[in-house]
Amino acid sequence: MIRKYVLAGVIAFSATFAHADEPIVGNWKTASGETALIAACGGDFCITLKTGKYTGRKIGTLAGSGADYSGEITDPSNDKTYSGSGTVSGGSLKMKGCVLKVFCKSQTWTRL
Top pLDDT among 95 and 13 is at 95
Domain-located, residue 9: no
Rounded Cα distance, 90 and 110, in Å = 9
pLDDT in tens, 14-32: 333 333 589 999 999 999 9
Domain-located, residue 7: no
Domain-located, residue 63: yes
- Domain of 61, CATH number, reads 2.40.128.520
**Burial (CB count within 10 angstroms: exposed 0-12, middle 13-18, buried 19+), residue 86:** buried
Q: Is the pTM higher than 0.85?
A: no
Domain-located, residue 50: yes
Domain-located, residue 4: no
> Cβ distance 45 to 36 under 8 Å?
no
Domain-located, residue 28: yes
Number of structural domains found in the chain: 1
pLDDT in tens, 60-76: 999 999 999 999 999 99
Domain that holds residue 65: 22-111
Domain-located, residue 3: no
110 three-class SS: strand
Domain-located, residue 105: yes
